[in-house]
Structure formats: C-alpha cells, structure tokens
Amino acid sequence: MSFISIEDVYFSYGAEEDGQTAKNAVDGVTLQIEEGEFVAVIGHNGCGKSTLAKHLNAMLLPDSGKITVDGDDTADDAKTFEIREKVGLVLQNPDNQLVASIVEEDVAFGPENLGVEPAEIRRRVDEALRAVDMYEYREHAPYKLSGGQKQRVAIAGILAIQPRCIVLDEPTAMLDPVGREEVISTLQRLNREKKITVVLITHFMDEAVLADRVVVMDGGKILTQGTPQEVFSQVELLKRHRLDVPQSAELAYKLRGCGIGFERIPLTQGDCVTMLEEAMR
Amino acid sequence: MVRDVSFGQYFPGKSPIHRLDPRAKILMFIAYIVIIFCTFNFVSLGITAAFTVLFLVCSQISFKFYLKSLKLIILIVVFTSVLNLFYGSGDPLWQWGIFKITQDGINRAIFVTVRIVCLILASSCLTFTTSPTELTDAIERLMKPLRVIRVPVHEIAMMMSLALRFVPTLLEETDKIMQAQKARGADMESGGFVKRVRALIPILIPLFVSAFRRAYDVATAMECRCYRGGAGRTRMKQIHLSARDFVAFAILAAVIGGVIVCNILLTASI
Amino acid sequence: MSCVLELKNIGFTYGRGTPFEKRAVDGVNLTINKGELVGVIGHTGSGKSTLMQMLNGLLRPTDGQVLLDGKDIWEQPKKIRSVRFKVGMVFQYPEYQLFEETVYKDIAFGAQNRGMVRGELDEAVRKAAEFTGLSPDLLQKSPFDLSGGEKRRAAIAGVIAMDPEVLVLDEPTAGLDPMGREVLLSQIVRYHKERKNTVLLVSHSMEDIARVADRVMVMNKSRLVMLDETRKVFSHAAELEKMGLKIPQITKIIQELRGRGFELPESVLTVDEAFAALLPLLKKEGKIW
C-alpha cells in the first residue's frame, strides 16, 4: 500500500450564502504518494491544491472518501497526532510559522509538544538546523532573517518532528529568486539524502520540473499527472488551462508544429540548446 | 526606525548573568525594585548602584546598548529630576523669583535620577541576557502554584511569548501600511485632534485585519506542529538552580542587608 | 522626448550618525522619459526599493535632487504630499492597505485626498476599476470579501485612480498564480498604452520584464549599473549573472546557440522572437518544408 493514499475524496468549505450549495474545493481526487517520492502539485489559486494539502496531515477531513497515511485513516481522531508526526506541513508565509523569538527555540517547538526528552530535543534541533544549513543562525531572532532563511527555519521546525513526509503549500510564493533557490535546493537535498517524501505545491513551473512526478489540478480535480517530461509535453492542454510551461518547452512545441521531429520536449535550457543544435547541424 | 530600539531586545551570550536561572533573575529583579526604593541615604544608594554596575559588567554586553536603552527615557529622567530639584523643602541655597533650590531638592533630584537609571539598566540587563522564551518559561514556572486556583498559567505564558515574538513583525507591518497610505496621499501630519484620530483609521483597520489573519495562520502552524496545550510538553532548555544562582542570591542578600543596616544606622538624606 | 523624472546624484543613508549606518543608494543619476515603461531589476537589498521610495518623496534623499517635470520635489517640503499624487506608488502586496467599507470607497481614497469630487471622482474610480479588470458589481462589496487576486487589483486601482503621471509598481505580480500574473501584466501594459503614462515596473521575473519593458535599469550594491534598452541590457548576460540576476531562459538559449556559431540575434526577448529567428536557419537545413 502507498505511504499516502487518497481515495475519491470530496471536500467543500460549507454552504455559501444565498442558499446555493458550495462548490467542492476538492472534487473527487484519487492519488497515491509513495515513500521517498518528490511530487509537485501545480494549478491555479482555488484549484483545490492547498485544501488537498491540509487533508494530508488531518488538518482537514474529507466530506466523503478516505485518506490513509501509512495505513492510518486521517478521520480516526486517535491517530491525529501520530499522523502529524509523520506528515509535516509547511505554509506559505514564513513569518507566521515561527512562534518563538529565537531560531533554535522555534525549531524545538514541535518536539517539545511531543514531550521528547530535553537532550534528544537538543540533538534533533541541531540536526534539523544543519540539514537546512541554518545552524550558524541558531541564536538569531527570526524577524531579522531573509525570507528564504525564515522558510528554511520553518522547514527545520518540521524536520525536528522527524516526519517521513513534508508537504509544502507554496513555500516559495513570497520569496525572491535567491530565497526560492535556497528553499528548493534544501528540499531536493532532504529528499535525496534523508529519503524524505516531499509534496511541493507551487506556481513555479521551473520548480515543478525538478520533481519525480507532477500532478496538475484544476477545479478540484486532477487534470493530468506524470513525470515532468510527460506533463509538460502536453503544452496545448496546459496552455488551454492557462498554466505556464517552461519557455524551452513552448519553443520546442512551436517548432514541432512546423514539422521538426523532436523526439521529446526539452524542459531545461541545456537540453533545449543541445536539441536545437542537433536539429540545425 | 523601530528596529533601532534596543530596549527589550535579547543578546545571546554565555556570560555568568546569561547563565543564571531565569527564575532567579526574575525574583532578584523584583527584590531589587523593592530595595532601590528603600534607599534613603547616599551610602545605601551607592551600594545598590555599585551592585547594578557589577551585574552590567558581568553581563558582558557592550555599554553602548545600555546607553541606548537609557536614551528612550532620558527626557523623563531630566523632567522628574528638574521637578524634584525645585520642590525641595528647607533653606534655599539659591533663589530666583518663585524658583528656589534647596539641599533637600538637590538630594531628591539625585535620588530620583539614580533610581530611575538603575531601574532601567537593571531591566535592560534582564531582557538583554534572558531570551523571551526563557522569561516566559520562568514566569510559567513561578506561577505554577496559581494553577490550584485555576489560573491558565501555560496559556498565559504561551500568549506572552507569542506576543513578544510578533511585536517586531507588527511594528514592521505598521511601518509598511503607513508608507502605503501616505503614498495614497493620506495626511497624517496636519489638522486638529479629530482629523488626526480619523487619519489613524486607514492604518489601524489594515493592521487589525492582518493581525487576525496572522493569528489564524499561527494557530494553523502550531497545530501542524502537534501543539495541544501545556499537558505533556517538555522543554529543550532545562532550567535549574545552580551554585551560580546561590552566589548571586548571596550578593543580593548582602546588598539588602547593607541597605537595611545603613537605613537604621545613618540618618536619611531625603 | 521630454523627460518627466530626473535624478541628480541621488544618495540615501539609513541611520546616519548611528552604529547602524547603511548606505542604501549611492550616486544615482538618471532620467525617465515621458510615456516609457521602464523595468527595474536588482536582487533584494540592491537599493531598488529605497530608490523607488525617493521618487514620490516617501523618503527624502540624503544627497542629490529628484526633479519632477524639471522641479525639485523637495523645494517646498510642506507640499511634498502633492508629489505623491503625481508619482503613484504601488507597494509589494498592496492588498494589505485596503481598509474602507466598500471597494469603491477604497479605490476613491487616494483620488479624494487629491481633491477630486463627484463626477470626476466617480469617473476616476470606475476607469481605474476597469483598467485593473475589476467587474463593476464588485465595487459595492467589502474589500475583505474579495479573492486574493481581486484584492490586489482593487489596491492597484486605488493608486491608478489618483491619475498619477508616473506609476511605480513594486512586484505587482508577486504571489499570484500564472494566470493572475499574465492577466495583471497585460492590464498594466494596456494602462500604459492607453493613458500614455510613464510606468516603472520593479520585478524579479525577467521573463515579464523582457516582454513589456522599453528600457531596463539594473541596481546592484546601492548603485545604478545599467540603464538601457531592454534588448541591450539582456545581451549582457554574463554581467547580470555575476550580480546574481538571471536572464530569461529563452534569451539564454539563443545566446548559447549563437556562441556555438549559429547566426542568431544577440538578444531575443520572447519565445515568438526566438521562433522567428530559428525558422530561417531550420529552413536552410531543410528541416522545414
């Protein structure tokens, strides 16, 4: 069985005014996430991806359908905290996730809640801060850090709980390019070296390209999914839903339309240059 | 602008003062406030001032920051000491119209100045050397007995620590909102009282809205990190009384003793 | 071309005379022409935000002069408020400035401060709402009931309604989804074209800048290091990368190919341009019929 299994989940945020029935924010989603995977979820604001994210650690419970994490049903009250230990959620605004006035004390917050022994907390905090490369800042005040640094501290705060999976809800939306780069490379490292499952919700296609699997959501449903190669090759579908594709993919798509037989759609700059060079020689 | 203020800030360090038990620091601070207002002659005032300086030196924090913390209240100090200077009783040493200066007035001015300055320095020393988490943690522990009469001690402490965490963030936010409204031509510098109060609306409403949104986010983030109240919680930084704290207590006890003895043996200066 | 804004040796130092003294902007000279759309790039802390805040007198330069229509804006410090109507400033995440009961009133706030009344005010508000793509039925709603993207538009409309000669936008598309970014950007371009007003667009997205800007200014370490036509600025890929700035992926791809000996332009800005440049080469190779 998959690590996280989402089966035919529906969810709506209660009835809207005027007596209309509210639209489902999540509208029949079935998705499996395997241990160790790096999954990117893309889609417009309001497509249901953030709502879905909150389902993965039992912050929200499905109206119908079922979600299991490591075999445990998220709807089972007795398992709520066990599930939150296994699946950590990082939110968009880094400022609002840091609860203590000192970096290391913030990172300690999670394990403290779990009642972990003090010496063990210390060890976990140091390890988590090293993993996100923020150890030198352990005694700093969070408000003096840059956006990227704050977000890495927020990730460390989740790591200290020692989850097996981290879900991030648009963690880079409020960051500058440097901060985005810091966060994404941290996530890639955690995924590769610590084998942590990563579910990255993002608007940025250049981030999604780095994932093992891309899930595209629209109107609460899964529009398509597959490897980045498979997903971004469907340039027309993505454009129709007004989603971005990398410029290299767009160019190759146009050239293909003129009859150039690219065997695949290039997602990176290097790949695109090589393919064009071959085509022109 | 707001970031320049050093009052209430924490400077991480490893000095003897930093390593004192925060509970000990709070208790000593309370005793210190009492004692500083019980100094009635120059010898006892001198003893407490010397004690203050000893602690400041031991904190190993640059005096620059202590001076900055004084800068904020310098006006109050000057104002009250001048007031005291002219309100003394006894024979005037100098007189000009209704203004007269007496020995008593001079003494009062000196006492008020030294007391306030010492108080600010000591409280700065406390906040400079104790992280907000340590402070609230210590308060939580000191108030523990109140749980018997159903005071939500943990919740109060958690609220205090969150408030301390978000003060700089909200100050920054206020600054941002002010700039944005000024850019829309909001006039905050002119007009009468009513107009000025009205001019605050475009700042206060967005500030409240954002504070509520933040509060909601923070609550979500805390839940995601398995927060479920004070029960079963452990702390990374253990606090316990050590020999160092008893040395500090002993010094303070000596100061208290000294002040009491001086008050009994010597005549009061004010 | 007449110039609307001129900066003469502008400098700004934060916390002058304190231990925290920091030179944020240093010796910037430039002129902005009437009706152009200038992109402003530079990484965080390069001084671009400080520079922008000096354009409408929110910050007073510690050195140098800001000339608006040839007049020093600080000539009469008491009248600085009038400059803020002429140089409209939209901050990052402007939706936090919304405060009125209705969207309409909020958009009208700045215009009213400028002294507009009745018919003129109403027209300014409705036009501003239209430019930012807010549908009229939203105007009587509370701004706090709008969606994130709508809030952003309402906030921008509030500045446009003041009818500024120069509009400065600091990262207007930050945090929006791809469609929101796309739509907002094209609305800004439309506003620029129809009103023929000057627009300064601060952005981290080089793709956006490449698509819409006539000229680009580059800030680095408190100094203005480049101000030139967009195409020329992006031809300096190596220098920009040294400053930690990326150029658009498509520009980079064509430059790489050019480096490998293909006859391609030095600097393309959009996918369409790249496509047009590649077609003849591919035709020559007989890959396209």
**Is the pLDDT assigned to residue A281 strictly greater than 80?**
no
What per-residue confidence (pLDDT) applies to B1? 39
For residues B19-26, average pLDDT: 93
Q: Which CATH class is domain C3-247?
A: alpha beta
What per-residue confidence (pLDDT) applies to B190? 75
C110 contacts chain B (CB < 8 A): yes
CA B124, CA B118: separation in Å to the nearest integer?
A: 10
For residues A64-91, average pLDDT: 95
What are the pLDDT digits (tens) for B115-133? 999 999 999 999 899 988 8
What per-residue confidence (pLDDT) applies to C191? 95
For residues A87-94, average pLDDT: 94
Chains sharing 3 or more CB pairs under 8 A with chain A: B, C
What per-residue confidence (pLDDT) applies to B6? 47
**Is the pLDDT assigned to residue A201 strictly greater than 90?**
yes
pTM, two decimal places: 0.88
Residue count of chain A, please give it.
Answer: 281
What are the pLDDT digits (tens) for A242-272? 888 899 999 999 998 888 878 888 998 999 9
CA B185, CA C85: separation in Å to the nearest integer?
A: 7
Give A35's contacts (C-beta < 8 A, 6+ positions apart): A3, A164, A165, A195, A197
- Range scoring the smallest mean pLDDT among B74-78, C95-99, C156-160: B74-78
User: SS3 for A68?
Assistant: strand
A214 contacts chain B (CB < 8 A): no
Single-letter residue type at B88: G
Using a CB-CB cut-off of 8 Å, the residues of chain A touching C281 are 280
What per-residue confidence (pLDDT) applies to C66? 96
Contact A152, A183 (CB under 8 A): yes
Query: Helices C118-131 and C178-195, interaxial angle, to 10°?
Result: 130
Provide the ipTM.
Answer: 0.91
What per-residue confidence (pLDDT) applies to C1? 64
What per-residue confidence (pLDDT) applies to B2? 44
Using a CB-CB cut-off of 8 Å, the residues of chain C touching A272 are 253
B155 contacts chain A (CB < 8 A): no
Locate the domains of chain B by residue range.
2-265
Q: What percent of chain A has pLDDT over 70?
A: 97
CA C55, CA C164: separation in Å to the nearest integer?
A: 12
What per-residue confidence (pLDDT) applies to C56? 93
Using a CB-CB cut-off of 8 Å, the residues of chain C touching A250 are 271
* Residue numbers of B between 199 and 228 with CB closer than 8 Å to A: 214, 217-218, 220-228
What per-residue confidence (pLDDT) applies to A262? 83
Closest partner CB to C99 (pick from B64, B183, B205) = B205
User: SS3 for A38?
Assistant: strand
What per-residue confidence (pLDDT) applies to A22? 67
Name all domains of chain A by residue range, CATH numbers in brackets: 4-244 (3.40.50.300), 246-281 (no CATH)
CB atoms under 10 Å from CB of B232, counted, come to: 10
- What is the pLDDT of chain B when averaged over all its residues? 88
Report the DSSP pairing between strands C198-202 and A4-11. unpaired
What are the pLDDT digits (tens) for C91-149? 999 999 999 999 999 999 999 999 999 999 999 999 999 999 999 999 999 999 998 88
What per-residue confidence (pLDDT) applies to B230? 84
Locate the domains of chain C by residue range.
3-247
**Is the pLDDT assigned to residue B137 strictly greater than 70?**
yes
For residues C64-79, average pLDDT: 93
CA B221, CA A106: separation in Å to the nearest integer?
A: 12
